[in-house]
Structure 1
Amino acid sequence: MRTIKLLGLLLMLLPISIFAQSTVSGTVVDNSGMPIPGVNIAVKNTNKGTTTDFDGNYSIVLENGETLSFSYVGFRTKNIVFNGKNTSIEVSMVEDAEALSEVVVVGYGNQTVKSISGSVASVTEKDFNKGNIVTSESLIQGRVPGLSVTKGGGPGSGSEIRIRGGSSFNANNSPLIVLDGLPLDNSVADGTRSILSTINPNDIESFSVLKDASAAAIYGIRASNGVIIINTKKGRGELSVSLDVQQNITTIDNTVDVLSAGQFRTLIAENFPGRLGELGSANTNWQNEIYRDAKSSDINLSARGALFGKIPSRLSLNRSDQQGLRQTSKFDRTTASLSLNPRLFDDHLKVGLNANYSNEDNRFADGVEGNAITFDPTQPVRSPGSPYGGFFEFLDNDGSAASNVPRNPVSQLLQTRNISNADRLFGNLNLDYKFHFLPELRLVTNLGYDRTDSGGSLTRPGTSALGVNAEQGEFIGNESRYEQTRTNTSADSYFIYENDFNDFGLKLTAGYSYQKFESERFTTNEILDPNAQEPRTTVADDVVLIGYFGRANFSFQDKYFVNASIRRDGVSKFSPENRFEYFPSVSGAWILTEEDFLEDSNLINSLKVRAGWGQLGQQEVPSTSDYLRRYQTGLSNQQYNFGNTIVPFQPLYTNPDIRWEILTEINLGVDFELFNNRLSGSVDVFERTADDLLSNVPVPDGANFSNQGFQNIGEFVSKGIEVNLDYNVIRRDDLNWNVNYNFTAIDREITNLAFGQDIFVGGITGGTGNTIQVQREGAWPNSFFTYAQLYDQAGQPIEGAYADLNGDGTVDDRDRYVSGNGQADVLMGFQSNFTYKNFDFNFNLRASFGNDIYNNVNSSRAQLGNLNLVSPNNLPVQVLETGFARTPDVILSDFFVEDASFLRMDNITLGYTLRGFNRESTSLRFWMGLQNAFVITDYSGVDPELNISGIDNTIYPRGRTYLLGVNYNF
């Protein structure tokens, strides 16, 4: 009887419990009314949740009083309490630009800014540099502490990119660049300007810079120089179209200061009067003649929205036409990109398809600055009746072009047609599947493909002095062609398990990575030369990289974080015994503001401390086959019998013990937000040790089949501090001013070389086989190695007089010393962004301190003896101060090592925006800008910002660019 009563009571309570629950449904849209698929919907303090479908619809069972939390990347989280009555809840989410930066891609997944414990910098679109941005690395130049970007002067030219100074003597020091999950090849394809020149900067949404080993170790063998992850824009929301148009003109800003025609005649008369009759009557500034005002244009059209109303999509087109300052040089690029991001199977499968096509058209201009500096300024550019296309050239008695003299630099540019065309198809397919039976587990597969087909030709007419066959005295010109196909394929597949267990959070990643590089090249050699080699096709050795990786992210109470990773990598470049290696890392973070003693602080809004350790490898070594026993065709006295056949061949250098270069790094960091989030920033200190460095060093006689070869012989240590500060000076509805400052100080020291021996590097012009740099224990890598110049009482250098530093009574090579280096001790960046109502004003400053330059332009050319060569050479004006004649060792004087510290204003832009004249989302912005506005420096040469070597032997100069542009969004 009791059982029957109990069952009756339960039956009475059942309807009450059923009616206490309700099915709530609705649609989630953005602020323009467009449905948002894939919005995460969670019921707070429960395990219940769901996501929106393709049309933004959702349905979920709720109890009275429960809170729904709607969240989606790029939008502010919205919380709604269910009142038990309204079962239809329509939600409009507001975009939040700041929220985009809260999720950072870190390689094989992403992390929230809160949980990152390594040194990772994220730069999103709103913080990109403005101006004439042709290649994508310019978007973040000067924006990230520890990252230096040294841009070339040519149109579309690449940059030397370094993170924390690099980590090798002779291997590649460029960071790994990962584009939408596809690791790029760091070598440049034939006929292209750089590895990034074919990528449209307007397609890029964000950069993640993984600077320390604990952040980058997940990429193992390719990450010793850091990693830059580039993420492109994706489609979402209502249909929107953007049109950007800009027109630019670039003018030459600075040239080498050389003698005018009048000064040149005077010096000839004073020193070699017998040669006055060889001079002409012209007054030619040859540097002005080889340069021009360069005109450029850039047009971008993009559209994004939901294809067929369901598939988030984005399509973009770009056309960029860039003239170079050098006569004839140009860079033209046409790109098209398509991004599709559907979500299938109730949002359990996310698909990301990125397809990109680029066509690059180039005309390369020879580096004629050396000839423009030295060519006789009393001679004209053109000479009527000249057999060399009407251009002036120095002639021998038989009327042919003289040898051992400079060629007319204008003729060299105009009569050389060096052109190329490159088609590049690249992209990736990303499949992210969340298992239905276990939604905490995902399988991610990323397939990448990158193929470049390029070709080019170099031709000169028979009237070119460079194409003359001097032995036969006939005009034969030049003609050669080449073609290249390069393919980079990659496949990554990994599992991600992510779950919370009360106060504990766990995220596990484990997977496999495969990448293969293939290359084939065809060249005709010199077609018009009957003695040239026959056309040939060269197939490079395939390079295969494979890796197994795992990562674990732990959190406790959302304030303590531990991240660890390990990767086992292998590459076909090394012997089987040295082919595989493990690269571990571990890091941790503690958010102090989550603790009781700081939780209610009005001063400190956020404070996190970080620490990390890791090891990385370097597979981009300069020699890929030294571990093999190799042979080549030898001389007649180097013969071996193979049966009845005598074959002349000789063995080559071999080193089966060549192995990985290893980088070990410790990083400590602090992230903070202060004063009601008005001031935010980070501070990092690091120490990195690069060990087992490869260098091409002497080999004892008889020990191998060469007198030198690559060996693992070196170690150097880099230590530094990085500071990043972001300050909102003014925050009002119609007036905002934000400034950003970053600072990097670094010290590098070679701590070990085999047998403590010096290694001489840094070849220079002037003399034969001279070098100006050294690898020496206790010094920076690639330090300048010179004599100490002596001066007279007036402070003028005494030619050929140097200090006897070791006091042995003789000045010789043992008195050379380390007199500087080409890399900066301190780098700084400063950006200012100011908006007032519809006006915006921005500028970027960069500074470099402690870097030196060896002025090889002056050391090899500013000598009076050059007036008496086969043809009188013009001289830099420095010769008027020094009076140097032509002492052979003058080029090794520290007099030519100059301080190259500088302050450069990179970009200034001013814009005005009209809004809402058609509909609320419509905007039209007009802007003007100035690029490379000024440089403040004590360096006497053209530009203190050279390549990383610090040796100035003429460069392609950077001009000053004036910009006008319009952006239309609707």
Structure 2
Amino acid sequence: QQARVLVQGTQVGSLTAENGRYTLRVPTSGAVVLEVSRIGYEAKKVTVTISGTAPVTQDVALTQAAFSLSAVVTTVTGQQRKVELANATTQIAVAEKVAELPVSNMGQLLSGRAAGVQVVSAGATGAGSRIRIRGQASLSLSNEPVVIIDGVRMTSTSGSTANGVGGSAPSRLDDLNPEEIENIEVIKGPSAATLYGTEAANGVINITTKRGKAGKTRWNVYTENGAITDPNTYPLMYYGWGTQLSGATAGTRVRCPAISIAASICRADSLRVGNAFLIDSLSPVDQGARQQYGMQVSGGTDRVQFFVAGETEVETGIYKMPDIEINRLTAERATGLPSSQIRPNALDRNSLRANLTALITPKATLQISSGFISSRQRLPQNEDNGNGLMVGMLGGEWREDLRDGRGVPLLGYRAFPMGDILSRTNTQSTNRFINSAQLRYEPTSWLQTRAILGMDYASRVDNEINLFDQGPLGVDRAGQVENDRGEINQQTVDLGATGTKQLTSWLNSKTSVGMQYIRNYFSSTGGTGQGLPPGATTITAAAVRNARQSTDERRTLGYYVEQQFSFNDKLFITAAMRRDAASAFGKDFRAVNYPKLGASWVISDQGFFPATNWINTLRLRATYGASGQIPGATDALRFFSPFGTTISGTADQPGVSLGALGNSTLRPEYSAETEAGFDLTMFDGKSNFEFTYYDKNTTDALIERRVAPSIAGVTSRFENIGNVRNKGFELVYNQKVVSTDKIGLDFVLTGSTNENELITLGEGVSAIPSGNRNTQLNAPGFPLYGLWGRTYTYNDANGDGILVAGEMTYGANTFIGPSFPTRELAFTPTLELFGRKLRISGQVDSKWGMKKLNNTKRHQCQAGFSCQGLYAGAPLEEQAKAVAAAASVFTGFYEDGSFTRFRELSVSYQMPNNWAKALKAERWNLVLTGRNLGVWTPFTGVDPETTVGNDDRRGNEEFFSTPPMRYFTFRMNFNF
């Protein structure tokens, strides 16, 4: 197990427990006070007298506790005890859990484990996660948190593709391998993230990877295999046949919707009901598979410790070309089909990591962290895509007689045979290096300095290809290829120093100063080729070629100072200021200041606090702080765009036009937050509460304001005129029910609320529509991305059981509800039996308070002619939705999006020691896990967590999206 040891407030290093003992070499002599702490345990101070090099043995028994105020956390100023922080920070001890959790990426790892952190994970293999902390604050910029790994800012954007590979976009955060992570600290909101500066207003996720520990070399080998299944039920499609009653086509067989029956145009004969998912020979759903193999080795001496890890991961998604289509295409092409077309959704990923910690001198420590990730993934065309898989399955008419232009039967598919849809191949290949070097130097007992240098570099290739005479009919059938190559380079320089001074016996002072430089560089070069010869795969072979290139660069330089006073090690007052300048600011705006003021008070240790046997500690905390959100790289700039003009209809002449007006006073969005709460430990550490209230106010929000039409070619520019507010509560309750040598039972309950309001868009700016078909409206006094629409009532006046347009009454455009959850709750119990060798854990989480657009059903009613409400015999409520959709009123498809999901189940068993020894192992355990095991929801669509891409504007919309899949995995862990 890992512990941190402090000598006079300075961390010495990480140690390894050997038979319950820790070994420490201290570069000093005499009486030394050691404070030993471990996440999940109460810290303890002991005095040890050291003389020369003779070893000294001191037993230290740590008392287990769900939350330890003395636990050490990592902040921008270095190591701090949790008790000193005036804000709520969630710690996730990943290394102790990840081997027994059903998680394969960072989004799944964070889901449900921190109050106020909302995670939405896409269903397709390799598709990315979207993370929001304490709501959404920006209409124009990203709402994603900053992610730091081993002190270095990393790229974590979702929707990370150049050409929209497959509709579902990967996330650069999910590139990380959870197996390599030691712990994660979630820093919520600007009050906690002030010193992280511009870009940190949405919170910070601070990741520390595993480090070596002094002692004998230790090996960890693991293997995981599993199955992926689709537990979802897809909506039925309807199609009504009838007989034409009049006109030149009287007596013919026609589509006969209810409104045509009411108008005596046709007589209903039959109603077809079904979908291709229900027919095995047509369904593109099969069982997917997952394999993972890894090895880690760590160890070292007192002066040098190392950690090395390697892993390979292969996951094949549930999508598979139906056999009937494989046979058809094999016959057409007279050759076998490539696996990329048969299994269009897959992920292959390899990761390597080498971390080194070296004690250069007794006062200087160097930590080097190096990680490499190589991945290749395939994603099918999907989501809001007329040529996509799900549109092909659910977007058309449920008919058995349709054929494409070649006469090929569609068999229930919308417009193209499924084999043609899956013949269009989409891939993304990524090679990524994340490297950092940290030098910590302590010239005196009261001064600590650090220097961190690092870089996150990723090379990405997105490729979409439709070979000659393949793919959907009429859609680049002559051959088309698009290739985009992106270079993402984020660099960090972090310099800082902390001085600590005991001013009096009761007053301690700690001063920190620092500087940070962040460079974010993105370059993309891409091209398209139309008209590929048979067998050709490159742009250069195409008949028509086009190219494009773009570069974005942002640089931020920040300075900060923080002063903390500690009174009797019980009351901590902290004040700080950060000042940032950035290249993305307008040229007339120099820099922005972010202040912070907070207090943390362990009130239970004060003399006036009533003595009780059941309260162990009570801490009160409150803080005010600010941070920002940086504009886009070119939002402040005036620039010109090229265009071609035709002279006398004979030749193209190059020219330029004004591309953007620019804004010389453009500033970052400014978020100020007040946070207050308490931490309570009771009953000898068995019961622990954390309660927090936050109020986050974002001013200077960037709004795209329309400009006078007299400015040629420019219709709008960004201005700092908006205001958004988020406020709510967070609760963490940890209860240890039973704790003996044989049995353990505990649970963690996390919950949060969020109330979001757009205060103003700025003077003269009208409400801004967003979402598909403008179903969202961003209006002052209401939540961002809220669902709006015209309400309606209906009355079957003639009693014929059919609703027509004249029997509908529409109201004004009205706010229907937020699209983002306003309440969330997660329950995580753990049961240990049989000497704690059998461990059973799980997670159930709920989200509610939001509306969800069932856009798939809207399409079926409005354009697909396949929803139930279009045909006679449907309930009047369903008919009303269809009739309203014909009038472009979609409120009938706004549904309650709340749900409760059985998210995780894990059963782990430690095999008998003699069994492990027979394999030359010290420990061997088996783990059986399941993920997405059940969901309860009033939502009538496929799944309440389906989402279109990773954008807030459509983040709570189901529109032909891949829903969450069910995972079952079996894993073995060996420790040597």
TM-score (norm 1): 0.83
Asked if 2 retains the 8 angstrom alpha-carbon contact of 1:235 and 1:304, the reply is: yes
What secondary structure sits across from 2:763 in the alignment? helix
Q: Deviations over 1:917-951 (max 9, x none)?
A: 35698221112122101111000001112444322
Q: 1:425 aligns with which of 413, 419, 433?
A: 433
Asked if 2 retains the 8 angstrom alpha-carbon contact of 1:40 and 1:52, the reply is: no
Whether 2:236 is the aligned partner of 1:258: answer yes
Whether 2:150 is the aligned partner of 1:180: answer yes
Q: 1:724 aligns with which of 718, 722, 732?
A: 732
Larger Rg, first or second structure (1 or 2): 1
The match for 1:296 is 290
- The structural deviation recorded for 1:564 is 1.9
Q: Deviations over 1:141-177 (max 9, x none)?
A: 1111111111111213221101100211121000111
Alignment of 1:388-399 (within 5 A): 392=409
Q: 1:612 aligns with which of 597, 618, 623?
A: 623
Q: 2:105 aligns with which of 135, 138, 161?
A: 135
Q: Deviations over 1:125-151 (max 9, x none)?
A: 246695331212321211111111111
Please tell me the residue identity of whatever aligns with 2:452. Answer: N
Could you say if the C-alpha distance between residues 129 and 159 of structure 1 is closer, same or farther in structure 2, counting changes exceeding 3 Å? farther
Asked if 2 retains the 8 angstrom alpha-carbon contact of 1:51 and 1:58, the reply is: no
- The structural deviation recorded for 1:345 is 1.1
Please tell me the residue identity of whatever aligns with 1:107. Answer: V
Q: 1:778 aligns with which of 769, 778, 781?
A: 781
The match for 1:480 is 482
Q: Distance in 1 between matches of 2:50 and 2:478?
A: 91
Alignment of 1:49-88 (within 5 A): 56-57=24-25, 62=30, 69=34, 71=36, 77=44, 79=46
Whether 2:956 is the aligned partner of 1:950: answer yes
Q: Deviations over 1:81-128 (max 9, x none)?
A: 769999763456678886798111122312101111112111212466
Whether 2:155 is the aligned partner of 1:154: answer no
Please tell me the residue identity of whatever aligns with 2:879. Answer: G
- The structural deviation recorded for 1:738 is 0.8
Q: Which stretch of structure 1 is more off in the superposition, 901-910 or 788-797? A: 788-797
Q: 1:408 aligns with which of 403, 416, 431?
A: 416
- The structural deviation recorded for 1:740 is 0.8
What secondary structure sits across from 1:624 in the alignment? coil
- The structural deviation recorded for 1:354 is 0.6
The match for 1:670 is 678
Whether 2:719 is the aligned partner of 1:711: answer yes
- The structural deviation recorded for 1:650 is 4.5
- The structural deviation recorded for 1:681 is 1.5
- The structural deviation recorded for 1:216 is 0.3
Alignment of 1:853-872 (within 5 A): 853-863=852-862, 866-867=864-865
- The structural deviation recorded for 1:495 is 1.3
Whether 2:68 is the aligned partner of 1:108: answer no
Please tell me the residue identity of whatever aligns with 1:507. Answer: K
Q: Distance in 2 between matches of 1:734 and 1:78?
A: 29
What secondary structure sits across from 1:607 in the alignment? strand
The match for 1:627 is 637
Could you say if the C-alpha distance between residues 775 and 890 of structure 1 is closer, same or farther in structure 2, counting changes exceeding 3 Å? same
- The structural deviation recorded for 1:269 is 6.0
Asked if 1 retains the 8 angstrom alpha-carbon contact of 2:64 and 2:685, the reply is: no
Q: Distance in 2 between matches of 1:791 and 1:951?
A: 26
Please tell me the residue identity of whatever aligns with 1:165. Answer: G
Alignment of 1:278-427 (within 5 A): 284-285=276-277, 289-306=283-300, 310-327=303-320, 328-346=344-362, 348-367=363-382, 368-379=389-400, 392=409, 406-408=414-416, 410-427=418-435
Q: 2:173 aligns with which of 175, 196, 204?
A: 196
Alignment of 1:482-501 (within 5 A): 482-501=484-503
Please tell me the residue identity of whatever aligns with 2:345. Answer: S
Q: Distance in 2 between matches of 1:167 and 1:360?
A: 33
Q: Which stretch of structure 1 is more off in the superposition, 335-344 or 648-657? A: 648-657
Whether 2:541 is the aligned partner of 1:564: answer no
Q: Distance in 2 between matches of 1:629 and 1:818?
A: 38
Asked if 2 retains the 8 angstrom alpha-carbon contact of 1:432 and 1:444, the reply is: yes
Q: Distance in 1 between matches of 2:357 and 2:52?
A: 36
Alignment of 1:918-937 (within 5 A): 922-937=922-937
Asked if 2 retains the 8 angstrom alpha-carbon contact of 1:351 and 1:429, the reply is: yes
Could you say if the C-alpha distance between residues 923 and 275 of structure 1 is closer, same or farther in structure 2, counting changes exceeding 3 Å? farther
Asked if 1 retains the 8 angstrom alpha-carbon contact of 2:680 and 2:690, the reply is: yes
Please tell me the residue identity of whatever aligns with 1:216. Answer: A
Please tell me the residue identity of whatever aligns with 1:360. Answer: S
- The structural deviation recorded for 1:688 is 1.1
Could you say if the C-alpha distance between residues 886 and 579 of structure 1 is closer, same or farther in structure 2, counting changes exceeding 3 Å? farther
Q: Distance in 2 between matches of 1:210 and 1:711?
A: 29
Could you say if the C-alpha distance between residues 859 and 55 of structure 1 is closer, same or farther in structure 2, counting changes exceeding 3 Å? closer
What secondary structure sits across from 1:895 in the alignment? helix
Please tell me the residue identity of whatever aligns with 2:108. Answer: S
The match for 1:216 is 193
Between the two structures, name the one with larger relative contact order (CA 8 Å, sep ≥ 6). Answer: 2
Q: Which stretch of structure 1 is more off in the superposition, 708-717 or 135-144? A: 708-717
Please tell me the residue identity of whatever aligns with 1:547. Answer: G
Whether 2:805 is the aligned partner of 1:790: answer no
Please tell me the residue identity of whatever aligns with 2:488. Answer: R
The match for 2:19 is none
Whether 2:225 is the aligned partner of 1:247: answer yes
Asked if 2 retains the 8 angstrom alpha-carbon contact of 1:725 and 1:741, the reply is: yes
Asked if 2 retains the 8 angstrom alpha-carbon contact of 1:757 and 1:776, the reply is: no
The match for 1:658 is 666
What secondary structure sits across from 2:283 in the alignment? helix
Could you say if the C-alpha distance between residues 647 and 732 of structure 1 is closer, same or farther in structure 2, counting changes exceeding 3 Å? closer
Could you say if the C-alpha distance between residues 923 and 660 of structure 1 is closer, same or farther in structure 2, counting changes exceeding 3 Å? same
What secondary structure sits across from 2:226 in the alignment? strand
The match for 2:531 is 528
What secondary structure sits across from 1:788 in the alignment? strand
Identity of aligned residues (%): 19
Segments of structure 2 that go 5 or more residues without pairing to the other structure are 17-21, 244-252, 321-343, 383-388, 533-540
- The structural deviation recorded for 1:480 is 3.0
Corresponding pairs, count: 881
Could you say if the C-alpha distance between residues 277 and 729 of structure 1 is closer, same or farther in structure 2, counting changes exceeding 3 Å? closer
What secondary structure sits across from 2:569 in the alignment? coil
Q: 1:513 aligns with which of 511, 516, 522?
A: 516
Q: Distance in 1 between matches of 2:273 and 2:821?
A: 46
What secondary structure sits across from 1:292 in the alignment? coil
Q: 1:552 aligns with which of 551, 563, 566?
A: 563
Asked if 2 retains the 8 angstrom alpha-carbon contact of 1:41 and 1:71, the reply is: no
- The structural deviation recorded for 1:522 is 2.4
Asked if 1 retains the 8 angstrom alpha-carbon contact of 2:838 and 2:908, the reply is: yes
Asked if 2 retains the 8 angstrom alpha-carbon contact of 1:55 and 1:310, the reply is: no
Q: Distance in 1 between matches of 2:548 and 2:683?
A: 65
Q: Which stretch of structure 1 is more off in the superposition, 626-635 or 606-615? A: 626-635
What secondary structure sits across from 1:654 in the alignment? coil
The match for 2:335 is none
Whether 2:906 is the aligned partner of 1:895: answer no
The match for 1:807 is none
Q: 1:916 aligns with which of 893, 913, 916?
A: 913
Could you say if the C-alpha distance between residues 709 and 886 of structure 1 is closer, same or farther in structure 2, counting changes exceeding 3 Å? farther
The match for 2:848 is 849
- The structural deviation recorded for 1:954 is 2.0
- The structural deviation recorded for 1:41 is 5.5
Q: Deviations over 1:321-344 (max 9, x none)?
A: 111223320011100101111112
Could you say if the C-alpha distance between residues 577 and 798 of structure 1 is closer, same or farther in structure 2, counting changes exceeding 3 Å? farther
Q: Distance in 1 between matches of 2:374 and 2:188?
A: 32
Asked if 1 retains the 8 angstrom alpha-carbon contact of 2:69 and 2:83, the reply is: no
